[in-house]
Amino acid sequence: MTISPNVVRHRAAVIRSRRETQNGHMSVNLWFTGLSGSGKSTLAHAVEERLHLMGCRTYVFDGDNVRHGLCGDLGFSLDDRSENLRRIAHMVHLFLDAGVISLTAFISPLHADRQRVKEIIGEENLIEVYCKCPLEVCEERDVKGLYKKARKGEIKNYTGISSPYEPPTSPDIVLKTDEQSLNECVKIVIKELKERGIIL
Q: Give CA–CA dist 132/168, Å, rounded.
A: 10
Q: Give CA–CA dist 31/108, Å, rounded.
A: 9
Helices (H), 31-166: 40-53, 63-66, 78-97, 111-121, 135-141, 146-151
Q: Give CA–CA dist 195/200, Å, rounded.
A: 9
Angle 56-175-166 from CA coordinates, rounded to 5°: 110
Q: Which of 36, 41, 102, 108 is catalytic?
A: 108
**Strand ranges of the sheet holding 126-132, from the earlier edge strand across to the other edge:** 58-62, 101-105, 28-33, 126-132, 173-176
Is residue 4 flagged as an active site residue?
no
> How far does the chain reach from its first CA to its final CA, in angstroms?
36
Question: In this structure, what are the phi and psi dihedrals at residue 79, rounded to the nearest 5 degrees?
Answer: -65, -45
Catalytic residues: 108
